[in-house]
Amino acid sequence: MRKFIIIILFICLPYTANSACVIQPDGVPQGMIHVSMISIIANNELFNNKVVSVIGVLNEHPHNRLQLYKDKNSIDYIILKESFTLKLDKKQYENHQSELNKLLGEYVKIIGVFHSESNKNAGYISDIILICKAWTRREMDESAKDAAKIYGPERETKNNQ
């Protein structure tokens, strides 16, 4: 039972730490699809009106809206076909504006409903329930080591065995 709890902690901790998340869900939505931006860009009709979990680089568009880009090069060269607009409601944006500004230029995980578009960008994400800083492998390994210190070495991940 304890190993199960530590595994859940290891999987969920990167996306539930208050310091890393701006908007957090009460629970994981049913039917959520974990998908890469490349898959959505290539097959945007396939993911239309689906709840997706996707990682990309958060940036502010010149017209005061947030964009999720495939990578930092897409931002540098303003490749809108490799980006999604993030449609936050006005209250959500105002309540979290300072935290969102800290995440600009960072890789973030977004959970929301994807909508395909055929014009400038690949689509948009609405009904956003999660925006978190995406952790690097090193940050996840450090988190697992910290958990092992708290709960004992027998609960370290299989990667460390």
CATH 2.40.50.140 fits 21-134, yes or no: yes
Listed range (95-99, 133-137, 144-148) with the worst mean pLDDT:
144-148
Instruction: Provide mean pLDDT across the span 62-84.
Output: 89
| Domain definitions of the chain by residue range | 1-19+136-161, 21-134
Rounded to the nearest 5°, which phi and psi values hold at 154?
-70, -10
Q: What are the residue ranges of helices labelled H in the chain?
A: 2-16, 37-42, 72-76, 90-103, 137-151
Q: What is the pLDDT of residues 18-59, one digit of tens each?
A: 345 776 556 667 788 999 999 999 998 899 999 999 999 999
Residues paired with residue 85 on neighbouring β-strands, in sequence order? 67, 124
Instruction: Provide mean pLDDT across the span 116-142.
Output: 82
Which pTM value belongs to this model? 0.73
Helices 137-151, 2-16: axis angle to 10 degrees equals 140
Alpha-carbon distances of 10 from 154, 155, 157, rounded to whole Å: 14, 10, 8
Q: What is the pLDDT of residues 53-63, one digit of tens each?
A: 999 999 997 77
Give the integer Cα–Cα distance in Å for 128 and 116: 15
